[in-house]
Amino acid sequence: MNASAGATARDYFSLFQLEPGFALDKTALERAYHALLAQFHPDRYAGKPEVEQRVAAQLCADINSGYRILSDEVCRAEYLLQQAGVDLVAAERAGVESTFLMTQISLREQLEELDQSDSAGRQSLTEEIEGHYALSRNQFAHTFAADACLDAARHWQEMCYLSKLLSEPKLRVR
Amino acid sequence: MTLLQIAEPGSAPEINTERRIGVGIDLGTTNSLIAHFDGADLNVLAGDTGQASLPSVVYYGASQTLVGADAERYASAEPGNTIASAKRMLGRSREEFEDDPYIQLAAGEGLAFATDAGAKTPVEVSAAILAALKGRAEPLLSGPIVGAVITVPAYFDDAQRQATRQAAELAGIKVLRLLNEPTAAAVAYGLDEQAEESSVLAVYDLGGGTFDISLLRMRAGLFEVLATGGDSALGGDDFDRALAAHLLDELSIGEPTVVQRRVALRLARDAKERLSESAMVNLDVKGLDAATSEITVSRSTLETLLSPYIERTLTACRKTLADANVDIVDRVVLVGGSTRTPAVRQAVADCFDLEPLCNLDPDQVVAMGAARQADILVGNRRGDEALLLDVIPLSLGLETYGGLVERIVNRNSTIPVARAQEFTTARDGQTGLVVHVVQGERERVEDCRSLARFELTGIPPMVAGAARIEVTFQVDADGILAVSAVEQQTGARSEIVVKPAFGLGEAQITDMLKAGYEHASEDMLARQLGEARVEAEALLDGLLAAMTADGDLLSAEETAALQSDMKNLETVMAVNQPDDIREATEILGKASEVFAARRMDRSIQKALQGVSLSELESNVAEESTP
């Protein structure tokens, strides 16, 4: 079996009654998430007819998925592209620009050369990656707002790559 | 909209004084407890002898079965018939225990103990313990037990949770919810009610057989598990075994008999407990070695023996803190009898740089929290309870091409959760595929735990990569998994509820229930009939109320169809056939699903309107503050 991204049915922005878009009011999302869970969590349906329990559990699963996707920038970007009908598989095949490829290689090399005990080096590399990430994110926001979906899809891929790099165990040593 | 009831002046409003009874059960490796919350007090329900905890030991003799302290008495004389620590084996496979010198396995493929009363599975042993707990509680309560919240270690995987549920079913107990032990502990301390801004709580739970560390975040009305970690095979039993091995070593007993091992274990447990109070103890070891009468064990010897185990718990703590991205913990709660050991307390205090909370009995705190939650779940709500949001302890995924694992649901996802992912075929003309469900964090299938395997057939022959197969993972609020696979073009479908591979099958459970585990004296039919009618009435009442309130969500045809199914159920209910009632209830349930979903969509709007309103109010309040 080979994996590919699945489709989503519910519009999460309307589920949480948020303005659709990349910019997001995190407090409003959290508040809506908690209000919905407080009402629809299976614990609130214990003792109710089985059909209601089942539907509530399904809704709760949607609420949890929606929160997970919207609260994470990279997931949110991907979701927006999906909703806009962008073929993400094709976009991934098209890849990123060559200048970003060079950045990728250079960051990867720096990470490999990083000494475990060098906390200053870790700090500065983390900051450098974060800088690149912020750039890609802003470019995503900009291109997506301008309906340049293919460009946005490219910047989304950059975000994916950089955020994955930031979660490398070597950078997360405590 | 619900109308508020106004009582006639002078007449007292009707108050429903009947309190439904839910109990909390801590099914522990070494000891088990049952507790009840009566609205004011949390009571741990003790047995005839006044002992709050029931040793998790079952004796299966040729002529009788005993549970608890009565069973423990046979531990030395008939070690093979006396089963202890069965929880360690719940939902596990035979291979994992074949080399264990303390266990005598029954012949055959499954994991079962060989006893004079026949082969007994860990699920049956656990069921016997649960039934004994229920038996001791019932005479002390004012009515029938509606259901129970049973606690499980946060680290329990899907198979272990399923096995726990099966044990309850076998004991005739309705499970309201499986609750993670650390969450229960925090609930017992009432930490969910404290109105602090936001704080992080660590629950360090070192019981007899499992170690759990959980990080929880508390905010107004919400109680969230951030991350869990631990080791499902590490606990006070290891302390006992290490000390027992030390004693046998001191006495130069190279190849101890089963009886000698048991005696050494009992001595070790006793010594460990006494060393919590004193620095040095003398042990009478004549039962082990006639030539030696006494051995002296010091606390520092014990601490040296324990330190590798304690260190393992601290490593797990640090890993879990890193997982949750948490730097500062505001409180630490101690759970489990093994946290009475001074060396453990000190190590925890040093690790978190905090004095841990331990004013509730660490052996009872889990059952107490479960009892509080059970009281809420049976319907005795006050309306202001915190909501407990749980997470799954291990990632769930599928085997893909080349023996690699594709993760579908990540560890620490909030449950209930459903995730769908599309897969495709690897070969031209492939018409079937095997869905292999695994649990764990490693990348290769052989390093993860295999949960289930099922086949999807009927895929139309296509070139490799053209088929689109959507696989959906659904994890319910108890952490139990159901998986389905659908080929998108033909709709070919296959699904499975993941059952422990080495537990009991559905048919086996039904057989055992029929054999009357503890219902021998009860009229089975009357009981089933009663249960079927309650469920049917709940559905009918609920639907009637719903149609009055939200009838506009249904078209005339839909209303007529529902009414016809309702009528049918009412007719069937008049006849004393539980199976027919259940079937008609199920038909009506399915038919009303769309209606239920529409009603929930409508109440989403209401729920969120409430939010913006309260936000508005708080803004107004802030503005009016000078």
Question: Based on the domain organization, do B527 and B482 belong to the same domain?
Answer: no
pLDDT digits (tens, 9 = 90+) for B459-507: 888 888 888 888 889 888 888 888 888 888 888 777 776 654 444 555 5
In chain B, the residue whose alpha carbon lies closest to the alpha carbon of A17 is B608
CATH of the domain at B495: 2.60.34.10
Q: What mean pLDDT is predicted for residues B598-609?
A: 84
- Catalytic residue, from B205, B237, B478, B487: name it: B205
Are B5 and B341 spatial neighbours (Cβ–Cβ below 8 Å)?
no
Looking at the complex, does the CB of residue B470 fall below 8 Å from at least one CB of chain A? yes
pLDDT digits (tens, 9 = 90+) for B526-547: 767 777 888 888 889 889 888 9
Strands B118-120 and B469-475: unpaired
Question: Element (H or E) spanning B398, and its range?
Answer: strand B396-400
Cis previous bond, B55, omega within 30: no
Of A36, A39, A42, the CB nearest to B477: A42
Q: Is residue B181 annotated as a catalytic residue, yes or no? A: yes
Q: With cut-offs at 50, 70 and 90, classify the pLDDT of residue B612.
A: low
What gap in Å lies between CA B64 and CA B85, rounded to an integer? 20
| Domain covering A88-166, topology | Monooxygenase (1.20.1280)
What are the CA-CA distances from residue B68 to residues A49, B49, B139 (Å)? 37, 11, 18
Burial B103-115 (b: 16+ CB within 10 A, else e): bebeeeeebbbbb
Question: Based on the domain organization, do B491 and B609 belong to the same domain?
Answer: no
What are the CA-CA distances from residue B191 to residues B114, B182, B342 (Å)? 45, 12, 25
Q: Is residue B26 annotated as a catalytic residue, yes or no? A: yes
- Catalytic residue, from B72, B87, B487, B565: name it: B87
Strands B175-180 and B145-152: parallel
Question: Based on the domain organization, do B39 and B181 belong to the same domain?
Answer: yes
Q: With cut-offs at 50, 70 and 90, classify the pLDDT of residue B2.
A: very low
Looking at the complex, does the CB of residue B550 fall below 8 Å from at least one CB of chain A? no
pLDDT value of residue A5: 39
- Preferred mutation among B222, B414, B480, B595 to probe A, highest tally of A CBs within 10 A: B414
- Considering the segment(s) A12-71 as one domain, its CATH architecture is Orthogonal Bundle (1.10)
Q: With cut-offs at 50, 70 and 90, classify the pLDDT of residue B95.
A: confident
Contact list in A for residue B400 (CB cut-off 8 A) is: 1-3
Q: Is B625 left (phi over 0), alpha (psi -120 to 50) or beta?
A: beta
The residue whose two tokens read 């395997």 is B453
- Give every residue of chain A whose pLDDT is below 50, as ranges: 1-8, 174
**What's the gap in Å between the CA of A44 and the closest CA on chain B?**
8
Q: What mean pLDDT is predicted for residues B58-71?
A: 94
The answer to whether the Cβ–Cβ distance between B377 and A38 falls below 8 Å is: no
pLDDT digits (tens, 9 = 90+) for B227-260: 888 887 788 889 999 999 999 998 888 888 888 8
Q: Is residue B87 annotated as a catalytic residue, yes or no? A: yes
Question: Based on the domain organization, do B176 and B55 belong to the same domain?
Answer: yes
The answer to whether the Cβ–Cβ distance between B596 and A52 falls below 8 Å is: yes
Looking at the complex, does the CB of residue B377 fall below 8 Å from at least one CB of chain A? yes
Question: Based on the domain organization, do B549 and B486 belong to the same domain?
Answer: no
Q: Phi and psi for B294 in degrees, rounded to 5?
A: -140, 150
The answer to whether the Cβ–Cβ distance between B600 and A55 falls below 8 Å is: yes
**What's the gap in Å between the CA of B496 and the closest CA on chain A?**
17
pLDDT value of residue B611: 62
What is the DSSP code string of B29-49? SSEEEEEEE-SS-EEE---TT
In chain B, the residue whose alpha carbon lies closest to the alpha carbon of A60 is B416
pLDDT digits (tens, 9 = 90+) for B204-219: 999 877 788 989 887 7
Residue B280: which domain range? 236-307
Q: How many CB pairs under 8 A join A and B?
A: 138
Are B203 and B212 spatial neighbours (Cβ–Cβ below 8 Å)?
yes
- Preferred mutation among B225, B328, B376, B387 to probe A, highest tally of A CBs within 10 A: B387
Question: Based on the domain organization, do B113 and B30 belong to the same domain?
Answer: yes
**pTM for the full model?**
0.73
Sorted by where each begins, the domain ranges of chain A are 12-71, 88-166
CATH of the domain at B564: 1.20.1270.10
